[in-house]
Amino acid sequence: MTTNEASLYEEQAKIFKRLSDQISAMLERFGRHDSLLGLGDYSVVDDYGGYPQVKISIGNLELLQPHIIKQLQKIVKEFPGWEIVIAVAVRGHYDDWPDMGLTIRAREIVDGLQRQYFPKEFQNIRYEGSKPGTDRD
Amino acid sequence: MTPFKPEWLEHRRRRYTRPDASRYFRPDYERYLRPDHARFDGRQTYEPKYRPDQPYGSEESALAAHTSELLKLKSELDRLLLLRAAIRLEQLRRKAGFNPAQPRVPAGNADGGQWTNDGGGGAAPRTGALGAIKVAESFNPGSHHFVPQSLFNKLPLPPETRKVFDEAKTAPLLSERHGWSKEHRIYNDAITEQFDRFMKENSIRPEEMAPDQARRFVEEVKRSSDPRIRGLNMRIYMREIMYWLRRVPRGNE
């Protein structure tokens, strides 16, 4: 890693921290973060991995409601080039549900939710401006 | 040499190729063929490495083949040794708090060459493949924490204990693009269970947890045989190693 790359990395890590702090503050209004004292509704991965994205693991499907996703998109719009990745990880379904989730970017939402696994009340969730896809899109 | 008779090949070609097949080829089709394409269409003879009319194990050919193989292996081994040394160097640098960018007092002064916090003026530090990772030690996000920060952030831990968890992390991560995998939450789940067990076995409350106890817990996490914990940690290590393997030049490059 050259000095330039190192300073860019440091800069990106700072942006990551700002973005993940804003996401955490927003989600706190709707659920409880996992902690060592017990699992909550979601967790924000707080380790910057060298890629402009923040990952959230969601264990409570209520957090997939369109108005919450819209607010996350509003946050990420302030961070050009960054994205929020939401992985659905519901306790009790780690093994029998496939990997699925959403990728939220400023101008689009990649929707990879496999709703057939969800309880009925969550099967009709739709996101404005979304397109179907995978986590590689 | 191709194992098929030319007459038979010609018969097959005529049978399965329409007479005006060339109409369907673009005039510059050869641009899209690999240079050695003739190897695959049966028109070029195949030269076996060991010809049947020569003794298979003749000393010269065997020696040349062995030498070539040995050099390739040596080259690969050197590359891996270099990589290991570079990683070790980086670990030592981080442990010692060494900052390659820290200025030194210029030569000619009484304390020339010594580290300084002032402007210094010495030559710019040399940087190698891993030599200039310049992420402040107290700056947290760019590493994998063995105990995720978000899990202990809101615990009423003494500051010294919190610091132990804060510092239990890998070198900065450089390669990870997250997908929709559940691995992080499964990891959190396992860490939470292990923490609960640890606290109960040692009759500790979070607000009383001593730094040494936190260190013991971190060691347990690092050495955990729980596949949910070991799995994620190993994947992170492997991704980082693969990242560096792709970046560090090979011995013969």
Closest CA to A60 of A121, A17, A127, A128: A121
> Cβ–Cβ of A46/B145 closer than 8 Å?
yes
What does each C-alpha distance from B50 to B54, B55, B60, B64, B177 come to in angstroms? 7, 8, 12, 12, 47
> Cβ–Cβ of A46/B148 closer than 8 Å?
yes
Give, for A110, the enclosing helix (H) or strand (E). strand A109-111
> Cβ–Cβ of B134/A94 closer than 8 Å?
no
- For residue B126, name the pLDDT band (cuts at 50, 70, 90): very low
- A39 chain-B contacts, CB cut-off 8 A: 188-189, 192
Helix axis angle for B183-201 and B227-247, nearest 10°, is 130
Q: Chain B, 188-247: which have a CB under 8 Å from a chain A CB?
A: 188-189, 191-192, 195-196, 206
Q: What is the pLDDT of residue B122?
A: 36
> Cβ–Cβ of B130/A87 closer than 8 Å?
no
CA angle A57, A62, A64 (to 5 degrees): 60
The Cα B45–Cα B217 span in angstroms is: 66
Q: What is the pLDDT of residue A130?
A: 92
Nearest to B173 among A2, A48, A100 (CB): A48
Global pTM? 0.61
The Cα B190–Cα A44 span in angstroms is: 16
Q: How far is A43 from chain B (nearest CA, A)?
A: 7
Which ipTM did the prediction report? 0.89
Domain ranges within chain A, ordered by starting residue: 3-132
B11, B13, B15, B16: CA torsion to nearest 10? 160
Instruction: Specify the 3-state DSSP secondary structure of B129.
Output: coil
**Is B141 in CB contact (< 8 Å) with chain A?**
yes
What does each C-alpha distance from A104 to A86, B98, B107 come to in angstroms? 8, 39, 55
Give the residues across from A87 on adjacent strands.
A57, A101
B172-213: per-residue pLDDT in tens? Answer: 777 667 888 888 899 998 999 999 899 999 998 888 899 999
The Cα B247–Cα B193 span in angstroms is: 38
> Cβ–Cβ of B180/A100 closer than 8 Å?
yes
- Provide the 8-state DSSP code for B24: G
Residue in chain B lying closest to A112 (CA): B180
- Amino acid letter, residue B106: P
